[in-house]
Structure 1
Amino acid sequence: MQHGAILPILIPLIVGILLILPAMHKSVWRQRCASLIASASVLMISIWLLIQASTGEITIYALGDWQPPYGIILVLDRLSALMLVLTSLLGFSAILYACHSDDTTGSFFHVLMQFQLMGLNGAFLTGDLFNLFVFFEILLIASYALVIHGGGKQKTRANVHYVILNLVGSSLFLFALGILYGTLGTLNMADMASKVATVPAEDQSLVEAGALLLLVVFGLKAAAFPLYFWLPRTYAAAVAPVAALFAIMTKVGIYSMLRVFTLVFGEDAGALSNLAIFWLWPAAVITIFAGAVGVMAAQDMRTQIAYLVVVSIGTLLGAMALNSEDATAALLYYLIHTTMVSAGLFLLVDLIARQRGQAGDRIVGTHPLAQPLLLGGMFFLGAIAIVGMPPFSGFIGKALLLKATMGVTDKLWLWPPLLLSSLMVLIALSRTGTTVFWRVSKGATKAEPAAPGKVVATLLLLSAAPLLAIFGGSVAEYTAATAAQLHAPGDLVRQILPGVSAAGGVRP
């Protein structure tokens, strides 16, 4: 299908607009049906695009038939297709969970979710830095409203910090784009890659400044140290389905780093090659330990899961700092695992909190749960997976990361923070599980069992842990092929700009 690449953007946009109309807005049932059908459709289309991209084919979609580098283009390769499937699956699960009451606690929930998904899908597909900024703003504006969905002082306070920090980040993004456009004359990423190696010496410092500004912006989006302070409070304050979808938000920053600092400022950028690596190493180590300390110190489960996201970001940054195909392949496998499992844990914590009465998600003893075996089993699965213990996907992801360091002495620095943080997380989650499921008072519970739809949505995400292990070979093959494609940017540049020779700054 010729226009398949634009459908993950177009469908949420059209459905989001239709949901604003009075006929749809006044009927919760119609909103839920339209939102579920749209998200399921995008999921199926994303899977089809993934199958198409798995052959190694790179699809370029030029909007209005304006050819690059002058027009707006969408680029579908293995990496963008993988992120589309991940986003669509999270979106469908979050919406399915929200359809059992969470969507009625505020206005325009489904409208905002559709625009959020549109922004995420656009960010993963765009081949132009300015349009990356545009899609960033779309997803951020939707997220500002989603954070305060349901109201309350805690949500409002968290949202103020979240909005201010992201407005600062957006301003820095525009400064970076201005610097790079002024020196390179383009914001098309393939065109930038073809020109960056031939930048005159007098302009190299300006291009480096623009690139490092982008690194700061992407670090803010990813919640890397020292820019991670907004995440725990924001994610803990948001309602469960929103927090689950936000598990992919930090990965937009990771994706952007991968795309920009391998394609534009990678091995073939001449004097500007690999300029992000020096900064990623310390950021990765400190982010891992800061997140692990936060997990141990957290007094409630929502904050604890939010800090687990911070730990995962540090781990992904560490893999990126290794700067090799094997490390990138491991990074992508671990990214799938941590996004799915952490999103599932946000939903699970909400299920647990609803059955604990006034104790909510606080890590204290209280009366028994209505479904202790079901929720306890799901918590055990999620905890084992997120810690990285065998036989689930977390263990495989971390094993692949550690394997990528073998044979290179100066890369073994990743072992201590990765292993020590895993131990700290294991201790913290053991304490949480013991307190919530074992330290309970005698007597019958008054809580109602969880709605079957909510349980299904939660299991859909947590099932990634065993499924990624069962089908680990196939997934690892795909991530290895994706890493190889990512580290050979010449193919992508020539696909977008057929007239560019290898001498333009990319390897043949």
Structure 2
Amino acid sequence: MNDWLLAPILIPLIGGVIQVFMGYAPISLRRTLALITTSLLLVSALVLLSLAMDDQYRVYAFGNWQPPFGIVLVLDRLAALMVLLTAVLALFCHLFSVGGWDEGNRQFHALFLFQLMGLNIAFLTGDLFNLFVAFEVLLIASYGLLMHGEGTSRTTPGLHYVVLNLTGSALFLISVGLIYSATGTLNMADLARTVPDLTGADLRLVEAGGLMLLVVFGLKAAILPLNFWLPRAYARATAPVAALFAVMTKVGVYAILRVYLLIFGQGAGGLASLGMDWLFPVALATLAIGVIGALGAQNLKTLVAWQVVISVGTLLAPIALGSRAGISAALFYLLSTTWTVAGLFLLAELVANQRGSAGDRIVTAPAMAHRTLLSVLFMLGAVSAAGLPPLSGFFSKVLILQSVTSGPDLAWLWAVVITGSFFTVIAYSRAGSIVFWRTVDGHIESPPGLSNTTRVATGALIATSLVIVALAGPIHQYTDATADQLLDQNGYVNILTVETVGEDH
């Protein structure tokens, strides 16, 4: 069964290669094959989730070179959750794109699938250097996707995005070099076993490398002050690309969870909890700046882009505290916020297409077509994003607030999260009332209709908030078990005892 670990990588790789050679094929055929590919990816993600639920680690060693020397893929509960999160998101973003947003670039579907491949490598790899490779794969594809579409408005934010990520890649390479020079390994399980015994100069080298890694992952996650590139870049991207990018910041969050709980966790000796003292206040500041940005947003896409920043701060605050309850609550919130924000990006594009020259700007305009449907979807998405009952965003934030029971951390977390949620409600209420209800006299000539694929994709992503509420019990049990697995370093370190590729551990 360990061969299934290859499926989330091979499926988009093969699909992407086929798309490259089909650049001049009829677009209907390219769309059909793309949707088949992402559907198969979702099936493989569900298989991996079912395998991970027995709490066993599964390892696939390429070429039968066993860890720590060979390249390995590792499946645990966290990896399975992230692959499933991405697969669901990818399917609906791809479905939305076939409504016309994939036109103008013959390689749109190839780039889309290659980015999925990079994401899944990042979630499944058991090696720091291969995590770097995964980042490069997904980033190269994201550069092309970010520039997809007509117009030059994407050029400047796209350039900022490329330059910052190239800088982050250089720092990543330097940091893994420092760690390798002191430990002689980049296998995560081997590092978790080696780091606690470091002393002297080797300890200082790994400390420097670890802190540089935290900066790199912070850039990927878009934490303050490394997040000002994000709102403009995401707001200028086409709708399905911006929606898919909702998971990009979560790669940084995932990397922090994986590396700093496993390698620099409580058992890391002199490097235990490296950087976590700084992460908590930075996370709260990120949340606060995201709320301020949302209040000042002049269009819907920028509002949703700032919501991505808000979600990053809300995610990292409980993770930084390192408790089982906090990690579990963060993972629960991760599902809710990623799918909801993606749905809001798609919805903002639909609204813009129905408002003529007003687009998605938060200004009064003549009444749009399909206003009832779009306003209801916006209300559901806004309620979940802001954390109001009875949708999943509310339950997620309740779990986060309950994860801290005493001390100054309790006061800061409750104050910032509750205040931030209050002002987020104001930001969405302002935008919704102006865009949907404060209309002026006039007529929008020939607004485009809403295709079935765009309706289904947008509605399904926003409706996931209801699905998460309906399945809150099983999902919370899964995130609790995932937190337990993450905090148990010995379980992951034991993958070093692998003797054959086919064994389950």
Structures share fold, TM-score greater than 0.5: yes
Shorter-chain-normalised TM-score: which range? Answer: over 0.9
- Cα distance in 1 for partners of 2:105, 2:154 equals 13
Q: Which amino acid aligns with 1:481?
A: A
Residue matched to 1:225 = 224
Residue matched to 1:59 = 58
Moved more, 401-410 or 180-189: 401-410
1:201 corresponds to 2:191: no
- Cα distance in 1 for partners of 2:355, 2:33 equals 33
Q: Which amino acid aligns with 1:256?
A: A
Q: Which amino acid aligns with 2:48?
A: L
Alignment of 1:217-296 (within 5 A): 217-296=216-295
Q: Which amino acid aligns with 1:360?
A: G
The CA deviation at 1:106 is: 2.2
- Cα distance in 1 for partners of 2:312, 2:269 equals 28
1:483 corresponds to 2:454: no
- Cα distance in 2 for partners of 1:85, 1:410 equals 32
Give the gaps of 5 or more residues in structure 2.
500-505
- Cα distance in 1 for partners of 2:330, 2:389 equals 18
Moved more, 222-231 or 490-499: 490-499
**Cα 1:442–1:151, aligned 2, differ >3 Å: closer, same or farther?**
closer
- Cα distance in 2 for partners of 1:496, 1:410 equals 37
1:466 corresponds to 2:466: yes
Retained in 1: the 8 A contact 2:2–2:58? no
The CA deviation at 1:443 is: 5.4
Retained in 2: the 8 A contact 1:392–1:465? yes
- Cα distance in 2 for partners of 1:152, 1:209 equals 43
Retained in 2: the 8 A contact 1:161–1:230? yes
The CA deviation at 1:497 is: 3.4
- Cα distance in 1 for partners of 2:34, 2:475 equals 29
The CA deviation at 1:408 is: 4.3
Residue matched to 2:428 = 429
The CA deviation at 1:2 is: 4.0
- Cα distance in 2 for partners of 1:467, 1:66 equals 42
**What's the TM-score, normalizing by structure 2?**
0.97
Deviations 1:41-98 (A, max 9, x none): 0101101110110111211011111100000000010000000001011111111000
Q: Which amino acid aligns with 2:373?
A: L
Q: Which amino acid aligns with 1:60?
A: V
The CA deviation at 1:105 is: 2.5
Residue matched to 2:308 = 309
Retained in 2: the 8 A contact 1:49–1:81? yes
Alignment of 1:318-333 (within 5 A): 318-333=317-332
Deviations 1:454-488 (A, max 9, x none): 01001111111111111111110000000000010
Residue matched to 1:189 = 188
Retained in 1: the 8 A contact 2:72–2:125? yes
Q: Which amino acid aligns with 1:300?
A: N
**Secondary structure of the corresponding residue to residue 16 of structure 2:** helix
Alignment of 1:361-400 (within 5 A): 361-400=360-399
**Secondary structure of the corresponding residue to residue 248 of structure 1:** helix
Deviations 1:204-252 (A, max 9, x none): 1111100000000000000000000111011001000000000000000
- Cα distance in 1 for partners of 2:366, 2:64 equals 63
Moved more, 205-214 or 440-449: 440-449
- Cα distance in 1 for partners of 2:18, 2:408 equals 57
Residue matched to 1:179 = 178
**Secondary structure of the corresponding residue to residue 75 of structure 1:** strand
The CA deviation at 1:201 is: 2.4
**What's the TM-score, normalizing by structure 1?**
0.96
Retained in 2: the 8 A contact 1:344–1:461? yes
**Cα 1:463–1:496, aligned 2, differ >3 Å: closer, same or farther?**
farther
**Cα 1:496–1:464, aligned 2, differ >3 Å: closer, same or farther?**
farther
Alignment of 1:395-406 (within 5 A): 395-406=394-405
Give the gaps of 5 or more residues in structure 1.
500-508
- Cα distance in 2 for partners of 1:408, 1:60 equals 41
Retained in 1: the 8 A contact 2:24–2:106? no
Alignment of 1:410-421 (within 5 A): 410-421=409-420
- Cα distance in 1 for partners of 2:474, 2:259 equals 27
Retained in 2: the 8 A contact 1:107–1:149? no
**Secondary structure of the corresponding residue to residue 73 of structure 2:** strand
Retained in 2: the 8 A contact 1:406–1:412? no
Higher relative contact order (CA 8 A, sep 6+): 2
- Cα distance in 2 for partners of 1:414, 1:407 equals 11
Residue matched to 1:6 = 6
- Aligned-residue Cα RMSD (Å) equals 1.2
Q: Which amino acid aligns with 1:19?
A: Q
The count of corresponding residues between Structure 1 and Structure 2 is: 498
- Cα distance in 1 for partners of 2:97, 2:188 equals 37
Q: Which amino acid aligns with 2:83?
A: L
Deviations 1:13-60 (A, max 9, x none): 1111111114x5322111111110000001011011101101112110
